[in-house]
């Protein structure tokens, strides 16, 4: 979770408020600066930014960072 927390804190410092939701094993981005994200990416239900680790002790990683940054730019 450290990488995820670092990313969220960095975004908050530059004025980007992110809200996430999840449905195991997916983690979706729900809102960017209060605006509901309507795009879908790698899912039929929302924009997937990460997956929960499959095993205890595995590291949590953000996937598709480039697509996430482009989405943030679009909504900011």
- Looking at the predicted structure, is the pLDDT value of residue 62 above 90? no
Contact 50, 18 (CB under 8 A): no
List, for residues 11-34, the tens digit of each pLDDT value: 999 999 999 998 888 889 999 999
The whole-number average pLDDT for the span 39-68 is 84
Encoding tokens for residue 75? 């909504």
Count of domains forming the chain:
1
Share of the chain above pLDDT 90, in %: 45
Which range of residues forms the domain containing residue 63?
A: 2-75
């Amino acid at each position: 979770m450290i990488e995820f927390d670092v990313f969220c804190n960095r975004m908050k410092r530059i004025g980007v408020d992110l809200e996430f939701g999840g449905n195991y094993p997916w983690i979706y981005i729900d809102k960017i600066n209060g605006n509901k994200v309507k795009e879908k990416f790698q899912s039929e239900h929302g924009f997937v930014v990460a997956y929960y680790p499959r095993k205890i002790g595995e590291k949590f990683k953000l996937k598709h960072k480039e697509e996430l940054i482009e989405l943030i730019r679009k909504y900011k």
